[in-house]
């Protein structure tokens, strides 16, 4: 089926998932919407997140998408079940794929999770992890400074190192953790700095790769995979300024992103 896959995020972080989708499913067309104007979602109330998520979804449903990827952990935590119940297309989030990847990786069953305030408060990751293996020990810590930093395009260097080092002090003290889940799709954009701070003995998990695998499996099951041969024309939309989005998209996706449009979705 030649309909596009829809991807939503609170900002640029979902590009880390989009990148994996483009790598694993190179013939599929993506339509991406990042709500950079109202980012971050982490400190917002559950109802606000649900409202904003549905506004993004309505915009993408008008594009005749065949599947929706909620590439935002906060939106996944608060809105995924509602979306799955209400929409006529397959919908997946990023929390369960991330949890599965961490379970496969950990050697000592001690897993750390960092994310936005909303995601950590929701306890979605501990639940997802313990649903798979009740013996897992989980330490979760909110990192409210990371998303605003990434949205400003500060992805490396001294300033990024200072913020990451200060923020991860409590997580560093949990010296039994051998696996750390990046429980926000913005965080892989600063993955190298996080790895440097946490040290080589900790394996960093981001959910993008596992999420893309799940998209492929679900589309195959529903016989909705595109089977032709084309170079897809991806579409990128943002509710905020184009410049930073364009820069980060170009760097992260390893290809120039020619079509980025600023849109209003608060309806």
Quick check: is 76 in a domain?
yes
HEC letters along 200-250 = CCCEEECCHHHHHHHHHHHHHHCCCCCCCCCCCCCEEEECCCHHHHHHHHH
Q: What is the DSSP secondary-structure string of 130-185? A: HHH-TT-EEEEEE-TTHHHHHHTT--SHHHHHHHHHHHTHHHHH-TT--EEEEEST
| 54 and 151, same domain (yes or no) | no
Contact 185, 17 (CB under 8 A): yes
| pLDDT above 80: residue 256 | no
| 100 and 201, same domain (yes or no) | yes
| pLDDT above 70: residue 102 | yes
Number of domains within the chain? 2
Q: What is the DSSP secondary-structure string of 20-37? A: HHHHH-TTS-EEEEE-GG
Q: Which of 184, 189, 205, 265 does the annotation list as catalytic? A: 184
| pLDDT above 70: residue 267 | no
72 assigned to active site: yes
| 164 and 231, same domain (yes or no) | no
| 34 and 131, same domain (yes or no) | no
| pLDDT above 90: residue 259 | no
| 124 and 197, same domain (yes or no) | yes
Kindly tell me the sign of the dihedral angle through the C-alpha atoms of 124, 109, 214, 4.
Answer: positive
| pLDDT above 90: residue 241 | no
Quick check: is 14 in a domain?
yes
Domain that includes residue 231, residue range:
5-93+209-262
What DSSP designation does 26 have? T
| pLDDT above 80: residue 53 | yes
143 assigned to active site: no
- Mean pLDDT along residues 93-105: 96
* Tally of CA atoms within 13 A in the half-sphere of 46 that contains its CB: 9
* Tally of CA atoms within 13 A in the half-sphere of 192 that contains its CB: 7
Banded model confidence at residue 187, pLDDT cuts 50, 70, 90: very high
| pLDDT above 70: residue 172 | yes
What pLDDT is stored for residue 255 in this prediction?
67
Percent of the chain with pLDDT strictly greater than 70: 99
| 52 and 78, same domain (yes or no) | yes
| 99 and 224, same domain (yes or no) | no
Quick check: is 141 in a domain?
yes
Banded model confidence at residue 230, pLDDT cuts 50, 70, 90: confident
d(C-alpha 249, C-alpha 121), whole Å = 29
| pLDDT above 70: residue 162 | yes
Contact 3, 205 (CB under 8 A): no
- Mean pLDDT along residues 184-212: 95
Higher-confidence residue of 76 and 241: namely 76
Which stretches of 44-109 are DSSP H helices?
Answer: 46-61, 73-86, 95-105
CATH number at residue 163: 3.40.50.1860
Q: Which of 72, 94, 155, 265 does the annotation list as catalytic? A: 72
Quick check: is 267 in a domain?
no
Banded model confidence at residue 175, pLDDT cuts 50, 70, 90: confident
Contact 205, 102 (CB under 8 A): yes
Burial 58-87 (b: 16+ CB within 10 A, else e): ebbeeeebbbbbbbbbbbbbbbbeebeeee
Quick check: is 183 in a domain?
yes
| 107 and 173, same domain (yes or no) | yes
């Amino acid at each position: 089926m030649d309909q596009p896959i829809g991807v939503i995020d609170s900002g640029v972080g979902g590009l880390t998932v989009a990148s994996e989708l483009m790598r694993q499913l190179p013939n599929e067309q993506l339509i991406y919407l990042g709500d950079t104007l109202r980012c971050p979602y982490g400190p917002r109330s559950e109802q606000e997140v649900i409202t904003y998520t549905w506004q993004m979804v309505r915009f993408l449903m008008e594009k005749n998408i065949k599947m929706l990827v909620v590439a935002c952990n906060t939106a996944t935590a608060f809105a995924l079940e509602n979306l799955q119940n209400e929409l006529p297309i397959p919908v997946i989030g990023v929390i369960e794929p991330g949890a599965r990847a961490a379970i496969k990786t950990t050697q000592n069953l001690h897993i750390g999770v960092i994310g936005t305030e909303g995601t950590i408060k929701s306890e979605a990751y501990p639940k997802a992890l313990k649903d798979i293996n009740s013996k897992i020990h989980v330490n979760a810590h909110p990192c409210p400074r990371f998303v605003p930093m990434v949205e400003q395009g500060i992805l490396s260097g001294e300033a990024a190192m200072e913020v990451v080092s200060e923020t991860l002090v409590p997580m560093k003290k949990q010296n039994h953790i051998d696996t750390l889940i990046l429980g926000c799709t913005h965080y892989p954009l600063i993955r190298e700095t996080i790895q440097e701070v946490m040290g080589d003995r900790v394996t960093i998990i981001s959910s993008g790769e596992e999420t893309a695998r799940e998209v492929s499996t679900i589309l195959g099951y529903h016989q909705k995979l595109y089977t032709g041969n084309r170079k897809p024309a991806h579409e990128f939309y943002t509710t905020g300024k184009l410049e930073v989005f364009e820069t980060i998209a170009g760097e992260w996706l390893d290809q120039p992103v020619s079509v980025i449009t600023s849109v209003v979705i608060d309806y």
